[in-house]
Structure 1
Amino acid sequence: MKFVFDLDGTICFKGQPVSEEILTCLNNLENEGHEVIFASARPIRDMLPVLHSRFHQHTLIGGNGSLISQNGKLVYAKEFDQQTLTQILSFIKKYGATYLIDSDWDYAYTGPIDHPILLNVDADKLANCVSVGELRSIVKILLLTAADMEQLAEQLHTLPVVVHTHRNENVLDVSPQHIDKWNALQTLGVKAGEYIAFGNDANDISMFKHALHTVMIGNHVDLAPHAKDSIVLDELCEKGIIDRLKELAKEYRVVISR
């Protein structure tokens, strides 16, 4: 069975790396014949610091599905088309929005110097922060502040893009049209009902809709209708995740040929 994991708020918390206890549990899943895939809103470069290096060769879905890395190499990147990008940039100018804009590796940043998002950006200094005009392709846009964020969101919804609103951070997360985590799984050849998904936010809805079994961490009003199972986000959350993974590994046991 394939197990697909979101990262932030699902198996890692407050910007800290995935704990060794959870990583060991994931290794045990693989030893029992299951496959582990990670699917995050983070671009690939920002997934690496929260995953131990022994997982860097795994299948990594980044940028909400706009990027895929396998065996340590980027194998898929979906960028905004030029017309749509030009319109987004015009809205950014119109509403005085600040942003974190990602290419397949480098990024552009104009937000506040103390914005919490910076804690998760290029922690290992793997990329370059450049002007937006210097980015060779643009795969994901986070809008951090604006003169009128609500009106900006309405304008974005008129474009051929995918927009997620992260309510806790009050940011708009914009991806190219048809890009989401389920789309990326399909690109990898994964079919509906062939995987178990763990997530915590609205950007996990697409992969929850097509999973065999779903586990929500915490309680998200939009994700909850698509979750078959949930784990309370408290001090016992990691133990709950590990216990549930052990149960699911047995329930969907894989017969390994020797």
Structure 2
Amino acid sequence: MKVVLFSPTDAVLAELAGLGLTMHRHQAEDLVDLSPAEVDKAMALAALSITDGRYVAFGNDHNDIRLFQNARFAVCVGDADAGRHADLAVARDQVSATIDALTHVPGTH
């Protein structure tokens, strides 16, 4: 679960900082996303018995880093910092073609 706050004030951010949440600030979009501490998408997959190395991941955010690190193949959508942990970075308009291409790569499906 994630909550997104648009244009948060410094006072709101200061209050949130003391709540023990994971906060990711997106300066370019002027927003912050909040999630429970130590909860991420990789944990959600594990809870569904989808184990490391058995999925292809697409993402674009800091909360996708662990997902990328545990994926068989990881694709960052856009030019986010999290892309350093992905195997490939693509523009939003390339996602569909990338999915199609990955269906033909051994070991990614």
TM class, shorter-length: 0.7 to 0.9
> 2: distance between equivalents of 1:194 and 1:187?
14
**1:159 and 2:19 equivalent?**
yes
Per the TM alignment, residue 243 of structure 1 is displaced from its structure 2 partner at its CA by 4.1
**SS of residue paired to 1:168:** coil
Unaligned runs of 5+ in 1: 1-65, 67-139
The answer on 1:227 being equivalent to 2:86 is yes
Q: Does 1:189 align with 2:49?
A: yes
Q: CA RMSD in A?
A: 2.6
In structure 1, the partner of 2:28 is: 168
Look up the match of 2:104. Answer: 247
1:205 is matched with 65
CA gap of 1:193–1:171, structure 2 versus 1, over 3 A, is: same
Instruction: Report the residue type matching 1:224 in the other structure.
Output: G
2:75 maps to 1:215? yes
Residue segments in structure 2 that go unaligned for 5+ positions in a row: none
Q: Output the TM-score relative to the length of structure 2.
A: 0.76
Q: Percent same amino acid at aligned positions?
A: 32
**Structure-1 separation of matches of 2:98 and 2:85:** 18
Looking at CA atoms only, which structure, 1 or 2, has the larger radius of gyration? 1
Shift in Å, 1:156: 2.5
Q: How many residues are treated as equivalent by the alignment?
A: 109
User: Equivalent residues in 2 for 1:14-53 (5 A)?
Assistant: none
Aligned equivalents of 2:52, 2:36: Cα separation in 1: 22
Change in CA separation of 1:238 and 1:176 when aligned onto 2, cut-off 3 Å:
closer
State the partner residue of 1:144.
6
- Deviation >6 Å, runs of 4+: none
Map of 1:49-198 to 2, 5 A cutoff? 66=1, 140-148=2-10, 152-198=12-58
